[in-house]
Amino acid sequence: MHESAAPPPVRPLGPPKIQVRDLRLSFGSKEVLHGVSFDVDRNDIFAIIGPAQSGKSSLLKCLNRTIELVPGARQSGEVVIDGVEVSQIPSVYTLRRRVGMVAPLPVGLPLSIFDNVAFAPRAAGFHDKQELAALVERCLRQAALWDEVKDRLHTLGTKLSGGQQQRLTIARALSHEPEVLCLDEFSIAIDPVTTMRIEDVLKELKQHMTIVLVTNLVQQARRLAGRTMFLWNGEIIEEGATDVVFSEQPQSRKTYDYVNGIFG
Amino acid sequence: MATTFAETPLIRSKHRQEAIVRVVLGLMAVAMVVPLLAILGYLFVEAWPLLSWDFLTKNPTGGMRQGGVWSALLGTIYLVTTSLVIAAPVGVLAAVYLNEYAKQGWLTRIINLAVVNLAGVPSIVHALFGLGAFVLFAGMGRSILAASLTLAIMTLPVIIASTKESLASVPLSFREACWNVGATRWQTIRGIVLPNSISGILTGVILQVSRTAGETAPIMFTGAVFFKRIEEGDPFAYSLSDQCMALSMHLFTITTQVTEAPKALPYATAVVLLGTVLLVNALAIGLRVKLRARKKW
């Protein structure tokens, strides 16, 4: 709704990677998303900012349909990826491989570092030892973790430090070669230096994929995102080019107040 | 400015309180060891004259007044093993369904309610059910099979409850991480959930051995007999369609039905029953320690 009013920034050619139309989501009788619509461009980092309880994480779960695993969740509206409505995709497992997801707290599965990354390929029936080894190395390199763990790939992933586990989680999300990578407040449990390293990783990754970044750190959105959406209480307050959202004159006064720390 | 760490009356009273609570709680903990040691000590002293290898390996003779407990010991082993072979897979798989697959709805609620209520049914009622359903209706007659099925139904709800608890102890975040990379529920269960809950599941199952071995009522109607002579030293002396003796029932009969039995006989039988159970429990603890060491978070 705000898009038409915004000064049209230069947007990449081609249809958007993700189109969300009038998405409503409720848990029981409580509606948490009140009909949100937005587009995510190809090879962009799309940031979603907003205070806690504004529906950011639930929104991400709608993208890979893990929302269906949450008891009592009911959804209406459309989520379209590459022109296909996600609920029409016959295999939800294929969808989830195309849409990678990184949770707020790092989750090292109780497996070796190698098996953590090889879990998804194996679940998809991919068993060639050499190819797996190459894939694991590539993902760990992409996640900027390889140098730290290359000599102990067969030790437990759960024994890594928090920042390392978060990069392991990212490597795992990359292991099924997603086209869209969703990150849900990935920096919540890690130190600023590691956060910056991962941010560099993300800038690199967006060459190959579309990234949706939910973050509580508004400056992180400013550093990384091409477009930013401000979600508040399940409604979009503003969506537009990051420069505009973070400028002195965003469309909404609320946006200005939020990104400048006046509330939220 | 000098910060003082001087003891105020309030701090002194806190220390005193802490000391009292510690002693009282400690005494309670120690108190529960006393009955166990008393039971063991008393049994062993009373049973001592009869305890020998022969007591384990010889059939009872002389109207139950002499000989050993071989046929009862083997019968108990048969009953416990068969009932667990039936109850463990059903119980564990049912628990996996209830914990990992079932959506919260009226059906799940009814199943959970049934499990809880089944666990609350007294064993004598199970015995009557087993008599009606397995012995008479299914035509199994009084047999090890009928008795084991009765015992299996008794143990099922407990196995389901303990298995569910073990499964629930695996953090949800592990499952979500697997689902997020496109793994199916079953791949998640097989790859992550079961390997990390198996120690608890097995312990829960094995601990049921002690309960099953001690039950008398359910087997009395369905397959256990007062006396049966079997081949000594042959571990396959019973078949599933046979009736059998059992330690728990043997203990009951020699105390109440047999006159002029040697005084040590019931005690010795009890020692064998308790020894069997403790042996299995020790096995469970050992297994748990071994599997716990592999726990990965």
Rounded CA-CA distance A90/B35 in Å is 63
Find, among B226, B247, B201, the residue nearest to B64 by Cα. B226
Query: What CATH class does A18-105+179-259 carry?
Result: alpha beta
| Neighbour order of strands in the sheet with A210-215 | A99-102, A180-184, A210-215, A45-49, A227-232, A235-241
Contact A93 B295 (CB under 8 A): no
Residues from chain B that touch A175, judged by Cβ atoms under 8 A, are 181
> Residues of chain B whose pLDDT is less than 70?
1-3, 294-297
- 3-class SS letters over chain B: CCCCCCCCHHHHHHHHHHHHHHHHHHHHHHHCHHHHHHHHHHHHHHHHHHCCHHHHHCCEECCCCEECCHHHHHHHHHHHHHHHHHHHHHHHHHHHHHHHHCCCCHHHHHHHHHHHHHHCCCHHHHHHHHHHHHHHHCCCCCCHHHHHHHHHHHHHHHHHHHHHHHHHCCCHHHHHHHHHCCCCHHHHHHHHHHHHHHHHHHHHHHHHHHHHHHCCHHHHHHCECCCCCCCCCCCCCCCCCCCECCHHHHHHHHHHCCCCCCCHHHHHHHHHHHHHHHHHHHHHHHHHHHHHCCCCC
Q: Do the Cβ atoms of A16 and A250 come closer than 8 Å?
A: no
Residues from chain A that touch B192, judged by Cβ atoms under 8 A, are 109-111
Rounded CA-CA distance B58/B47 in Å is 17
Q: Which residues lie across from A19 on neighbouring strands?
A: A39, A80
Q: Which token pair is A35?
A: 């009909």
Q: Give the residue on B whose Cα is nearest the Cα of A166.
A: B177
Contact B176 A103 (CB under 8 A): yes
Residue-wise pLDDT tens digits, B186-219: 999 999 999 999 888 988 898 888 889 988 999 9
Residue-wise pLDDT tens digits, A65-114: 999 888 889 999 999 999 899 989 888 999 999 999 998 888 888 999 99
The strand ranges marked E within chain A are: 18-27, 30-40, 45-49, 73-81, 84-85, 99-102, 180-184, 210-215, 227-232, 235-241
User: Closest partner residue to B297 among A64, A101, A158, by Cβ?
Assistant: A158
Contact B182 A172 (CB under 8 A): no
Residues from chain B that touch A177, judged by Cβ atoms under 8 A, are none
Q: List C-alpha distances in Å: A255 to A234, A238, B129.
A: 15, 7, 70
Q: Which pLDDT score, from 0 to 100, does residue A3 have?
A: 45
Q: Which pLDDT score, from 0 to 100, does residue B261 have?
A: 81
Contact B180 A103 (CB under 8 A): yes
Q: Which pLDDT score, from 0 to 100, does residue B222 have?
A: 92
| DSSP label at residue A66 | G
Reduce the DSSP state of residue A27 to 3 states and report it.
strand
Reduce the DSSP state of residue A226 to 3 states and report it.
coil
Q: Calculate the CA A141 to chain-centre distance.
A: 19
Domain definitions of chain B by residue range: 53-292
Q: List C-alpha distances in Å: A15 to A43, A80, B46, B275.
A: 12, 11, 88, 75
> Residues of chain A whose pLDDT is less than 70?
1-13, 264
Contact B182 A109 (CB under 8 A): no
Distance from CA of A144 to the nearest CA of B (A): 20
Residues from chain A that touch B295, judged by Cβ atoms under 8 A, are 110
HSE, side-chain direction, 13 A CA sphere, residue B122: 4
DSSP A82-148: TTEEGGG-S-HHHHHHHEEEE-SS----SSBHHHHHHHHHHHTT---HHHHHHHHHHHHHHTT-HHH
Q: Do the Cβ atoms of B170 and B193 come closer than 8 Å?
A: yes
Residue A107 contacts B where some CB pair is shorter than 8 Å? yes
Residues from chain A that touch B195, judged by Cβ atoms under 8 A, are 110
Residues from chain A that touch B108, judged by Cβ atoms under 8 A, are none
Reduce the DSSP state of residue A194 to 3 states and report it.
helix
Residues from chain A that touch B296, judged by Cβ atoms under 8 A, are 110-111, 156, 158
Residue A103 contacts B where some CB pair is shorter than 8 Å? yes
Residue A65 contacts B where some CB pair is shorter than 8 Å? no
Q: Which pLDDT score, from 0 to 100, does residue B295 have?
A: 62
Q: At the fourth CATH level, which superfamily is domain B53-292?
A: MetI-like (1.10.3720.10)
Distance from CA of B186 to the nearest CA of A (A): 10
Q: Give the residue on B whose Cα is nearest the Cα of A183.
A: B180
pTM: 0.83
Residue A101 contacts B where some CB pair is shorter than 8 Å? yes
Rounded CA-CA distance A259/A242 in Å is 11
Residue A189 contacts B where some CB pair is shorter than 8 Å? no
Contact B183 A119 (CB under 8 A): yes
Within 184-223 of B, beta carbons closer than 8 Å to A belong to 184, 187, 191-192, 195-196
Residue-wise pLDDT tens digits, A161-177: 888 898 999 999 999 99
Contact A107 B195 (CB under 8 A): no
Q: Do the Cβ atoms of A183 and A57 come closer than 8 Å?
A: no
Within 85-114 of B, beta carbons closer than 8 Å to A belong to 103-104
Contact B177 A105 (CB under 8 A): no
Domain definitions of chain A by residue range: 18-105+179-259
* Cβ atoms within 10 Å, residue A199: 17
**Number of A:B CB contacts under 8 A?**
73
Q: List C-alpha distances in Å: B162 to B82, B169, B170, B197, B281.
A: 20, 11, 13, 11, 16
Q: Give the residue on A whose Cα is nearest the Cα of B194.
A: A110
Within 228-247 of A, beta carbons closer than 8 Å to B belong to none
- The ipTM value here is 0.85
Q: Give the residue on A whose Cα is nearest the Cα of B102.
A: A71
Q: Which pLDDT score, from 0 to 100, does residue A4 have?
A: 47
Residue A14 contacts B where some CB pair is shorter than 8 Å? no
Residue B174 contacts A where some CB pair is shorter than 8 Å? yes
Residue B293 contacts A where some CB pair is shorter than 8 Å? no
Residue B13 contacts A where some CB pair is shorter than 8 Å? no
Q: List C-alpha distances in Å: A253 to A238, B39, B98.
A: 10, 78, 50
Contact A172 B196 (CB under 8 A): no
